[in-house]
Structure 1
Amino acid sequence: MTYVSGTAPPGATALMCENFAVTVPQPSQQRSGAQAVERALAVLHCVEATDDSVGVTELAQRTGLTVSTAHRLARTLTEAGLLRQDARSERYGLGPALVVLGRKAERRLGYQQALPLLEELAEETGESINLGIRAGNEVNVVLDVMSSQPLRFNQESGTRIPLHVSAMGKCLLACGDIDAEIEGLGDLDRATHRTITDRDQLRAELELVRERGWALNDEERNPGVRAVAAPVLRPGGGVVGAIAIQGPTIRITDERLPELAALLGRTTKLVAELLSAPRD
């Protein structure tokens, strides 16, 4: 078997789209530029969350906006190249300008420079490797290296995972104020029977992650899959992201965890030094 893969301020209504939260003030509140930006982001992220394309009526339903507002924002984003519209179906997809922006961001942030280190880690462990960064209450996978094993688990770049069901997410949460982080997560949705949905249990888990320096996802998102992750820490303080080793439970056993954690510690240190180095 192969596996492939906000809280609103007072007086505001929180719109959710595929786990991406934005806040949209009620119509009675004073209209502002921030409101327009929040609504545009809601539209953009709803399109991003679909595998193909989305129609304006569906877009309005998912964001909680009126059809006319959703249509106006989608047209504006299309004119800017952030979305594209199919001439025949009139459905919206991601636009070409995002490719340019993504490549520039990737180059300037330096993530691609870490790929050889992730490939080396994949070769040493025989498992799939991810580098993820935080995006709201999710982990956004920015780099992935697929295992060469026929039985494997892989998460492609661009995949988004709720923080509480991810080993990388636990690392990112443990690097902050744990109580505040848990409070800001909202509902802890269950993905499998092993998902941590109790806040006290999650707090204890994050304290353990902080103490030992690495996190374990023990079939909490996908049955039969385990992941071990460690944070990529900035030399001057703070966290850049996290790196995970993931694979089937038959290979990522309890006996292997110390070895994998040690390999992660070495790799995350090298990646942190690489990403913090000055770039032209």
Structure 2
Amino acid sequence: MSNVEGAVVSHQEPERSSGYVQSLDRGLAVIRAFDAEHPRLTLSDVARRTGLTRAAARRFLHTLVDLGYVAADGRLFALRPRVLELGYAYLSSLGLPEIARPHLERLATAVGESASASVLDGSDITYVARVASRRIMSVDLGVGTRLPAYATSMGRVLLAGLPEDEVDAHLGDLAALTRYTITDRDQLFAELARVREQGWSIVDEELEEGLRSLAAPVRDRTGRVVAAVNVSTAARRGSATTMLAETLPHLLAAADAITSDLVANR
């Protein structure tokens, strides 16, 4: 999926199933055109970010307005709260946020840092639960936030949990987000092998300079990695070695506790 200027249109059409409905795909693309950096868009903006014609973008926007998912204010369009129903239906069926939250709260209290849980969605991770102790990133993180899997500790835990022949399909373009980001595929695969063997991942200033995070996997009853939990901190607060010594035991205990509750709940 191209990320040039925030575009959400895919330039390389994947193979579609016989039941594929193009109009639904395009309607969802219009919803995805809106994000934290682009909360209000004109018709032309939507057409450009989705690759749709203006006429098609207009039809989809007005349909979404009629359905209550988009609001229109003059030339500008914006998502309405009802769009959250689409995500909450998934989160409710998952059960993970409710199970993870008390453990994340205890983890955040124990280490004095923010704690989160996420799942893999394509080449991104999606936050499904978060307990914030302080803001340490330049963007606000919350439920529904998406970040590139390859450059995040939770993403690497989730990628390492996949069969090796499936990993490449979830990587996308390895863009350099900071001067420290791993962008070489062979180097990244070597790092994922390390994560797979040791059972946790630490990412030091690869997503955003000044940010360090540590993650561990959550598994289902078959042992498959289904989610990841992490702790994030400002790199200036101490060394990576100190973080591993002081935080990793608490993180692994929280991940194991969430795994146990998730298995018992299914």
Using the size of structure 1 for normalisation, the TM-score is 0.82
Secondary structure of the structure 1 residue equivalent to 2:52: coil
How many angstroms does 1:207 deviate by? 0.2
User: 1:204-227 CA distances to partner (integer Å, 9 max, x unpaired)?
Assistant: 000000000001111101111110
What is the distance in 2 between the residues matched to 1:20 and 1:138? 13
The amino acid that maps onto 1:263 is H
Taking structure 1 as reference, are residues 15 and 183 closer, same or farther at Cα in structure 2, changes over 3 Å only? same
Counterpart in the other structure of 2:26: 39
User: 1:98-154 CA distances to partner (integer Å, 9 max, x unpaired)?
Assistant: 234444443332212321110100111111111111222111112111125xx8457
The question of whether the paired residues in 1 share the 8 Å contact of 2:119 and 2:227 is answered with yes
The amino acid that maps onto 2:58 is H
Counterpart in the other structure of 1:54: 41
What is the distance in 1 between the residues matched to 2:145 and 2:86? 18
Secondary structure of the structure 2 residue equivalent to 1:54: strand
How many angstroms does 1:276 deviate by? 3.5
Counterpart in the other structure of 2:80: 95
| Pairs aligned (count) | 260
What is the distance in 1 between the residues matched to 2:9 and 2:194? 28
Counterpart in the other structure of 2:251: 264
Counterpart in the other structure of 2:242: 255
What value does the CA root-mean-square deviation take over the aligned residues?
Answer: 2.8
Matched, 1:217 2:207: no
The amino acid that maps onto 2:80 is G
The amino acid that maps onto 1:212 is Q
What is the distance in 1 between the residues matched to 2:228 and 2:52? 35
Counterpart in the other structure of 2:225: 239
Matched, 1:133 2:127: no
Counterpart in the other structure of 1:10: none
The question of whether the paired residues in 1 share the 8 Å contact of 2:219 and 2:225 is answered with yes
What is the distance in 2 between the residues matched to 1:144 and 1:104? 18
What is the distance in 2 between the residues matched to 1:58 and 1:19? 10
Matched, 1:174 2:179: no
Matched, 1:226 2:212: yes
What is the distance in 2 between the residues matched to 1:184 and 1:104? 24
Counterpart in the other structure of 1:122: 108
Question: 1:156 pairs with 130, 138, 142, which one?
Answer: 142
The amino acid that maps onto 2:145 is T
Unaligned runs of 5+ in 1: 1-5, 7-13, 26-30
Normalized per residue, which structure has more helix? 2
Matched, 1:188 2:174: yes
What is the distance in 2 between the residues matched to 1:204 and 1:24? 27
The amino acid that maps onto 2:84 is V
User: 1:199-250 CA distances to partner (integer Å, 9 max, x unpaired)?
Assistant: 0100000000000000111110111111000111112232221111010113
Secondary structure of the structure 2 residue equivalent to 1:271: helix
Structure 1 stretches of at least 4 aligned residues deviating more than 6 Å after TM superposition: 14-17
User: 1:59-89 CA distances to partner (integer Å, 9 max, x unpaired)?
Assistant: 00011110111111122222222x2223x32
Percent identity for Structure 1 against Structure 2: 34
Taking structure 1 as reference, are residues 173 and 37 closer, same or farther at Cα in structure 2, changes over 3 Å only? same
